[in-house]
């Protein structure tokens, strides 16, 4: 097995780096947008709130692969019309954008649940103590929201990491695509797909350990 | 957006709809059937049973479904022993492989879920069942499992939607289900917005139907007055 994988080890690791790049890009974009959008849409009769609810329902009901295809092919058509000349969306941008768009919906749900768990008295107390609205958000609400949302955020990171394999279908040479190429060249598909699976498992295992440590540090010691 | 292309893609997508439903329902059932022994093994006190089951859950939940599908379709198909085995009629068909991959993937998630629900039930209940004269099998099927399944039922409704979404990966191994059909249509017409919107609407409709069915099942399975979720 070693002599088959050996010559391709470099390629697989390069693929893994690209996998991490795609996943990290989508994770950061999705999370940042959700952190901005969620508190804004919390207040009662906000029309944006219904828009966001609709978006979450749609994303939860359609396959990620469809979103990737939509942004990849649709992006090319839209940008070509917009710029007037042929413009092709590259697989990396389409992949990151699609995974970010999907994870954004799930992050909104996670953060909304976390926000709802914070007692209302805290905002009132902070305002009474003379904190401005901005300070209230960054010093009181945000830290607690993250603490409560951390298990969900960690779980979503693992999901994005695994979903990033789908971007191989539109041709991005990340870990999955690299193993398809190696499997085709050597006629050892089982070896390469198992190696890829092991690399994914290694990354997800390390990630969930790291998130476990972060959760323990953020949570006050149990009494 | 062109209205004509929108309408023209409906019959094409509908042809893939049947396969999407078949793959989703078969994979979900396979997942449920495989999840129960997996959960019981993972919750077992015997390490020889618990460790392989826990490793399976860990490995399958840690890697993408697409890799698992390729391991089954391309990987196992490359082995001489598999091609001679009785499983070959299933494994040589891309649809069979998709059902197997998505189903076995779902089994790991549901298995972990069920295991959690089983270990949550106080051991006193099983002991009480034994004292009342129920044997181990009766204690499991009449006392432990009905409670465990009621616990996980809301999440199972979510799981079938996840299985439906995963069924789209079958298009990566040449199956022309909904996503595959949509992609073929896009390559012919180059109208991605119209075609993928139609496919998306069909998926959404299917997801809503599944959600409705499971809400119904949940209501039927609830014990009046005992439910702490809703009435």
pLDDT, residue B231, reads 37
- Is the Cβ of A162 closer than 8 Å to some Cβ of chain B? yes
Whether residue B226 is contained in a domain is answered as no
Chain B residues whose C-beta is within 8 A of a chain A C-beta are: 58-59, 61-68, 70-71, 74-79, 161, 164-169, 171-172, 179, 182-183, 186, 190-193, 196, 199-200, 203-204, 206-208
Residues of B whose CB is below 8 A from A200: 62-64, 67
Q: Which residues of B touch A196 (CB under 8 A)?
A: 63, 67
Residues 6+ apart with CB under 8 A from B14: B202
Query: Residue B13 is part of a domain; what is its CATH number?
Result: 1.10.3720.10
* Chain A neighbors of B70, CB-CB under 8 A: 180, 183, 189, 193
Tell me the residue range of the domain where B175 lies.
Answer: 3-221
Q: How far is CA A131 from CA A41, A115, A122, A135, A174, in A?
A: 22, 19, 11, 6, 47
Mean pLDDT in residue range B44-55: 92
Chain A residues within an 8 Å CB radius of B68:
197
Per-residue confidence band for A2, with pLDDT thresholds at 50, 70 and 90:
low
Of A78, A194, A201, the CB nearest to B71: A194
Q: What is the pTM of this model?
A: 0.90
> Which CATH class, in words, describes the domain spanning A20-172?
mainly alpha
Most confident of A25-29, A189-193, B219-223: A25-29
Q: Percent of chain A at pLDDT above 90?
A: 57
Name which residue leads in pLDDT, B8 or B72: B72
Q: What is the pLDDT of residues A181-219, one digit of tens each?
A: 999 889 889 999 999 999 999 999 999 999 999 888 887
Length of chain B: 231
Question: Per-residue b/e over A117-152, b at no fewer than 16 CB within 10 Å?
Answer: eeeeeebeebeeeebeeeebeeebbeebbbbbbbeb
CB-CB under 8 Å, B192 with A60: no
Number of domains, chain B: 1
Torsion angle defined by CA atoms of residues A130, A133, A136 and A138, in that order, rounded to the nearest 10 degrees: -140
Instruction: Provide ipTM, 2 decimals.
Output: 0.89
Domain ranges of chain A: 20-172
- Residue B68: which pLDDT band, with cuts at 50, 70 and 90? very high
Q: Do B74 and A189 touch (CB under 8 A)?
A: yes
From the number of C-beta atoms within 10 Å of its C-beta (0-12, 13-18, 19+), residue B207 rates as buried
A149-180 confidence digits (pLDDT tens):
999 999 999 999 999 999 999 999 999 999 99
Q: What is the 3-state secondary structure (H, E, C) of B128-178?
A: HHHHCCCCHHHHHHHHHHHHHHHHHHHHHHHHHHHHHHHHHHHHHHCCCCH
């Amino acid at each position: 097995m070693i002599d088959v994988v050996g010559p391709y080890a470099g390629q697989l690791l390069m693929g893994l780096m690209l996998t991490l790049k795609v996943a990290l890009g989508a994770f950061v974009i999705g999370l940042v947008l959700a952190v901005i959008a969620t508190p804004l849409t919390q207040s009662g009769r906000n029309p944006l709130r219904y828009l966001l609810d609709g978006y979450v329902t749609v994303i939860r009901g359609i396959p990620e692969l469809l979103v990737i295809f939509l942004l990849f092919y649709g992006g090319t058509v839209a940008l070509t019309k917009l710029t007037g000349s042929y413009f092709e969306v590259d697989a990396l941008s389409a992949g990151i954008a699609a995974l970010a768009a999907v994870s954004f919906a799930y992050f909104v749900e996670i953060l909304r649940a976390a926000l709802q768990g914070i007692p209302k008295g805290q905002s009132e107390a902070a305002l009474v103590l003379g904190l401005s609205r901005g300070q209230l958000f960054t010093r009181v609400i945000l830290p607690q929201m993250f603490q409560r949302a951390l298990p969900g955020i960690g779980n979503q990171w693992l999901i994005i990491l695994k979903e990033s394999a789908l971007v191989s279908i539109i041709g991005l040479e990340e870990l999955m695509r690299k193993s398809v190429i190696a499997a085709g060249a050597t006629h050892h598909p089982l070896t390469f797909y198992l190696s890829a699976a092991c690399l994914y498992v290694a990354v997800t295992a390390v990630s969930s350990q790291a998130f476990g440590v972060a959760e323990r540090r953020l949570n006050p010691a149990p009494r | 957006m062109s209205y004509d292309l929108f309408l023209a893609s409906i019959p094409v997508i509908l042809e893939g709809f049947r396969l999407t439903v078949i793959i989703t329902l078969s994979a979900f059932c396979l997942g449920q059937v495989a999840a129960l022994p997996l959960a019981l093994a993972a919750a077992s006190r015997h390490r020889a049973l618990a460790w392989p089951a826990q490793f399976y859950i860990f490995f399958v939940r840690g890697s993408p479904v697409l890799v698992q599908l390729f391991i089954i379709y391309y990987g196992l198909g490359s082995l001489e022993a598999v091609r001679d085995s009785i499983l070959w009629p299933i494994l040589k068909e891309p649809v069979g492989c998709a059902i197997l991959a998505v189903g076995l993937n779902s089994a790991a998630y549901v298995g972990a879920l069920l295991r959690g629900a089983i270990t949550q039930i106080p051991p006193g209940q099983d002991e009480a069942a034994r004292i009342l004269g129920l044997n181990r099998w009766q204690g499991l099927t009449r006392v432990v499992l009905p409670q465990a399944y009621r616990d996980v039922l809301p999440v199972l409704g979510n799981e079938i939607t996840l299985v439906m979404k995963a069924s789209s990966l079958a298009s990566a191994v040449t199956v022309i289900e909904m996503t595959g059909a949509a992609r073929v249509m896009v390559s012919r017409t180059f109208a991605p917005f119209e075609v993928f919107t139609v496919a998306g609407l069909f998926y959404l409709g299917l997801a809503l139907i599944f959600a409705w069915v499971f809400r119904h099942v949940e209501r039927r399975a609830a014990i009046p007055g005992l439910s702490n979720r809703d009435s």
